[in-house]
Chain A
């Protein structure tokens, strides 16, 4: 019962307990709710700081709760989980700030923030899960806690989106459960370990393992929105902006991608996966998803829809990086976990601002918006350029490593995939940016609202600016010590045992 035991648990509870309290809070208690939210978020940040410090000083962090003999819930902190935990906590903080501004005097706020905190706790749990059971545990919890957020508005289309979201995720969850239980039954309790566990297990039947792998990836692919399991993502756009932001940047989609990384690296082990000839199919699916998502994005006029499809495409970079043998590509994939999160959340914040302030939902309405909302549009531009991969933006780093990794792995075709997707990204982002800055908007905005001195409510303005600048910085100072890239490097080299 040391710090090593309590810290992961504390990190989990720092968002779980406030969430549960908030549920039973009266709607009117606005101030108290805000305090709980931000207090929890700040506390979590502090704890994460402790965690990072500890991990650097090789302190072993593990919380192990035995549910039943042979059924352990394990929360642990290795380099990968630290990366994801930090990302999600940081983004949770800004998103909470954003959500408070966004939902001012909207109904059912206690319910919203309650589930919001639950959702983050689930993500944290996923990040720190020490074995498949724990992962599954929080993966399902994530499904449950995000559903009410998606249907929060209670409108028919929201419910429709929610239903589709559920259908996909529940079935995906079932597939994952099947895979995990099967693996558990044939191989015993499997704690995540770098370079994987199964490689050493010569006693296991290869075909069984392949089938299990298919089940696991199938289950995770739903949340990671791998084609053809991506159908729910554009529908889930109905959700309020902060929710979409969180869903796309960290919570749901990332959980899927992260899970894939875990399965390939820490359960099967990347070499063993390659040995089973499972990497190439994964790479192909990922590539298809990347191109397909970009193409679909091209034809969306609704801003959030376009962003959604771009998520479909961007998140698969992570899967792609995982599926290419060799540390360099792995670095690209892992670091994209962070980069895509920062960039995408910025874009969604901005989309939310346009909608809230000017009632803009469609790209066609965005002419000259840059002059009305310079700061927001600036942030948007940063995010967009990052997505395209313009150096020295964050996105460039990811793509650079992916490309080099592909070459070293003699998978040159991947390079073409990257080029194609970058061009497509440019094709669907640049026109927006151009419209925003270089067009004059004639006539009224759809429905304009004024918030004091700033172009919009400061709580809405601050988050995108912060994340936008961050997205720039992680690119600029990628080589700096303790940057996301350095972490990714650490993880990748450990995975390849170098």
Chain B
């Protein structure tokens, strides 16, 4: 119970300290990061025992107060956040320390810690909340913190502003939807809402508005236009956080809503439509990633593509068995993509940092000078391609099964195509990086912690595939889609 509160309060307090006493910012950040990991794991073990947790903030039960709720899904996303958060925080030690040298980055070195800790608190708050309006506040908090973090990079201000405007637009749609829901049911507690929801115009409108707002924040094609510039221009640790966690947060909200309040409303047509957008995102994102001139841009577009996979759940959700398999599949993809993409962005940051540029065509010699980083890139790419034995593979495997079980084999075709295209853009990078080059040593050798943190996150993405039994069991706790049941051979 108390972990739930601590998961939000701890980083908040860390943020205050980091702002008031910049000198102790780094140590505060790292300490908080480790404690967070511990808290998330302990919460996960509590839930693994089989019980979902509820806590009413301020001691007032919903609908009067705000309810916090944690089940397997929550626990897994909290764990993802704390693992990625820890890795990124460690990477940031090296990354922002280096930036101290030149003055215009000086502020970014200071700004990172308080903003990142605040963002972390907001993420945890979002994963934990069961209150539609509180969800709005956390979304805004995440949005503003993310924008501020992007803006730490001097030349990313325009991207940051665009990001802010899009985020606000999304929030407005979402908030209007919340207003309608309250007007209908006199509560914003998701549990109560899902109990009382019945199909009527206002409910549909609320669903449409809130979904649209969240799709905008999740950057589903064609609403992705804002993502690549923001993710590609931000400082490496920030890009990692944005791609791995922030986008996932909006998706998490969608999952919660569609399996909670909106389940009675979910129409097959809407699901198919979203699925088509997802497919388009896979294709478009992959093509763009393949043509992108800069490594970080490749990674950013690959995020656009990978986000597409997550939305293939919606068309499959219709049939019960396939729906549940697909749900586990997309959650798995979300988790492993989070880990892999974080590792990838950190690694890209190391390359950028070492060679002063990240033009894909001039990556020769990276393999010689930054073997660990290149190794991280390779492993992360393997997971993103969905090659065994990675988390990405498990997710894709489940999703493929769901597609075939439900008889909608065309989604399977899209997935496989996406996998091949992912391989294409990944190996385009790796091929260039593999080229040897009798070249001078890189300008700045990245701090070892930067290389190892990237590798560690990439490896975690693979471990998620090898050791998926327990996490999947955890995910089953409180899952409204029921237990994961792949079709058994009839005896």
A–B proximity contact (CB within 8 A): yes
A positions within 8 Å CB-CB of B: 23, 66-71, 107, 111, 133, 136-138, 140-141, 143-144, 148, 151, 154, 159, 162-163, 166, 170-171, 173-174, 177-178, 181-182, 184-190, 197, 203
B404/A186 in contact, CB under 8 A = yes
Instruction: Find residues 408-437 in chain B having any chain A CB closer than 8 Å to their own CB.
Output: 409, 412, 416, 419-420, 423, 427, 431, 434-436
Query: Does B58 interact with chain A (Cβ within 8 Å)?
Result: no
Instruction: Find residues 30-46 in chain B having any chain A CB closer than 8 Å to their own CB.
Output: none
7 interchain residue pairs of minimum CB distance: A188-B489, A70-B486, A185-B404, A181-B400, A154-B436, A137-B388, A170-B423
Complex CA–CA separation, A69 to B400 (angstroms): 16
> Closest B-chain residue to A185, C-beta based?
B404
New A-B pairs, 17, CB < 8 Å, besides A68-B486, A151-B431, A188-B487 = A71-B468, A107-B436, A133-B397, A137-B389, A141-B388, A143-B387, A144-B382, A144-B387, A159-B431, A166-B423, A171-B420, A178-B400, A181-B397, A181-B400, A181-B401, A188-B489, A189-B488
A154/B434 in contact, CB under 8 A = yes
Q: Is the interface of A mostly helix, strand, loop or mixed?
A: helix
Complex CA–CA separation, A197 to B382 (angstroms): 32
Return chain A residues, CB-CB under 8 Å to B489.
187-190, 197
A177/B434 in contact, CB under 8 A = no
Some 12 contacts from A to B, beta carbons below 8 A apart, are A67-B469, A137-B389, A138-B388, A141-B388, A141-B389, A151-B431, A154-B436, A159-B434, A182-B404, A184-B401, A185-B405, A186-B404
A178/B416 in contact, CB under 8 A = yes
Query: Does B394 interact with chain A (Cβ within 8 Å)?
Result: yes
Return chain B residues, CB-CB under 8 Å to A141.
387-389
Complex CA–CA separation, A185 to B489 (angstroms): 9
With both chains docked as a complex, state the minimum distance between the C-beta of B296 and any C-beta of chain A, in angstroms.
23
Return chain A residues, CB-CB under 8 Å to B401.
181, 184-185
With both chains docked as a complex, state the minimum distance between the C-beta of B393 and any C-beta of chain A, in angstroms.
8
B419/A70 in contact, CB under 8 A = no
> Closest B-chain residue to A173, C-beta based?
B387
A136/B469 in contact, CB under 8 A = no
B400/A177 in contact, CB under 8 A = yes
> Closest B-chain residue to A110, C-beta based?
B371
Known: A68-B469, A68-B472, A185-B405. A136 touches B388 (CB 8 A): yes
Return chain A residues, CB-CB under 8 Å to B404.
181-182, 184-186
Query: Does B195 interact with chain A (Cβ within 8 Å)?
Result: no
Query: Does B339 interact with chain A (Cβ within 8 Å)?
Result: no
Query: Does B85 interact with chain A (Cβ within 8 Å)?
Result: no
Query: Does B490 interact with chain A (Cβ within 8 Å)?
Result: yes
With both chains docked as a complex, state the minimum distance between the C-beta of A456 and any C-beta of chain B, in angstroms.
27
With both chains docked as a complex, state the minimum distance between the C-beta of B76 and any C-beta of chain A, in angstroms.
14
Return chain B residues, CB-CB under 8 Å to A190.
489
Complex CA–CA separation, A111 to B378 (angstroms): 13
A166/B427 in contact, CB under 8 A = yes
Known: A140-B387, A185-B401. A68 touches B484 (CB 8 A): yes
Instruction: Find residues 434-491 in chain B having any chain A CB closer than 8 Å to their own CB.
Output: 434-436, 465-466, 468-469, 472, 483-490
With both chains docked as a complex, state the minimum distance between the C-beta of B329 and any C-beta of chain A, in angstroms.
10
Most buried by B among A66, A154, A189: A154
Return chain B residues, CB-CB under 8 Å to A162.
431
B389/A170 in contact, CB under 8 A = no
Complex CA–CA separation, A26 to B64 (angstroms): 64
Return chain B residues, CB-CB under 8 Å to A70.
484-488
Return chain B residues, CB-CB under 8 Å to A182.
404, 409, 412
With both chains docked as a complex, state the minimum distance between the C-beta of B431 and any C-beta of chain A, in angstroms.
6
Complex CA–CA separation, A23 to B367 (angstroms): 13
Return chain B residues, CB-CB under 8 Å to A189.
486, 488-489
B315-347 interface mask toward A, CB cutoff 8 Å, 1 = contact, 0 = none?
Answer: 000000000000010000000000000000000
In the complex, the number of residue pairs spanning A and B with C-beta atoms less than 8 Å apart equals: 103
Most buried by B among A177, A178, A189: A177
A69/B486 in contact, CB under 8 A = yes
Complex CA–CA separation, A254 to B113 (angstroms): 54
Q: How many residues of B contact A (CB 8 A)?
A: 40
B366-381 interface mask toward A, CB cutoff 8 Å, 1 = contact, 0 = none?
Answer: 0100010001000000
Return chain B residues, CB-CB under 8 Å to A68.
328, 394, 398, 468-469, 472, 484, 486
B416/A188 in contact, CB under 8 A = no
Return chain A residues, CB-CB under 8 Å to B416.
174, 177-178
> Closest A-chain residue to B418, C-beta based?
A174
A174/B420 in contact, CB under 8 A = yes
A151/B397 in contact, CB under 8 A = no
Complex CA–CA separation, A69 to B371 (angstroms): 37
Return chain A residues, CB-CB under 8 Å to B487.
70, 184-185, 188
> Closest A-chain residue to B413, C-beta based?
A178
Complex CA–CA separation, A485 to B412 (angstroms): 42
> Closest B-chain residue to A182, C-beta based?
B404
B484/A69 in contact, CB under 8 A = yes
Return chain B residues, CB-CB under 8 Å to A173.
387
Most buried by B among A71, A107, A188, A189: A71
Complex CA–CA separation, A190 to B434 (angstroms): 39
> Closest B-chain residue to A156, C-beta based?
B435
B486/A178 in contact, CB under 8 A = no
B435: which of A140, A159, A174 is its contact (CB, 8 Å)?
A159
With both chains docked as a complex, state the minimum distance between the C-beta of B146 and any C-beta of chain A, in angstroms.
33
Return chain B residues, CB-CB under 8 Å to A137.
388-389
Return chain A residues, CB-CB under 8 Å to B419.
174, 177
With both chains docked as a complex, state the minimum distance between the C-beta of B134 and any C-beta of chain A, in angstroms.
33
> Closest B-chain residue to A137, C-beta based?
B388
> Closest A-chain residue to B488, C-beta based?
A188
> Closest B-chain residue to A203, C-beta based?
B490
Return chain A residues, CB-CB under 8 Å to B483.
69
With both chains docked as a complex, state the minimum distance between the C-beta of A143 and any C-beta of chain B, in angstroms.
8
With both chains docked as a complex, state the minimum distance between the C-beta of A452 and any C-beta of chain B, in angstroms.
31
B394/A71 in contact, CB under 8 A = yes
Complex CA–CA separation, A111 to B372 (angstroms): 11
With both chains docked as a complex, state the minimum distance between the C-beta of B243 and any C-beta of chain A, in angstroms.
23
Complex CA–CA separation, A197 to B404 (angstroms): 20
Most buried by B among A133, A154, A185: A185
A67/B394 in contact, CB under 8 A = yes
A69/B472 in contact, CB under 8 A = yes
Return chain A residues, CB-CB under 8 Å to B420.
170-171, 174
B434/A67 in contact, CB under 8 A = no
Complex CA–CA separation, A138 to B382 (angstroms): 13
> Closest A-chain residue to B372, C-beta based?
A24
A181: which of B394, B412, B423, B427 is its contact (CB, 8 Å)?
B412
Most buried by B among A107, A138, A187, A188: A188
Return chain B residues, CB-CB under 8 Å to A171.
420
With both chains docked as a complex, state the minimum distance between the C-beta of B368 and any C-beta of chain A, in angstroms.
8
Complex CA–CA separation, A41 to B191 (angstroms): 60
Return chain A residues, CB-CB under 8 Å to B371.
111
Return chain A residues, CB-CB under 8 Å to B409.
182
Complex CA–CA separation, A69 to B325 (angstroms): 11
Complex CA–CA separation, A166 to B389 (angstroms): 18
A188/B431 in contact, CB under 8 A = no
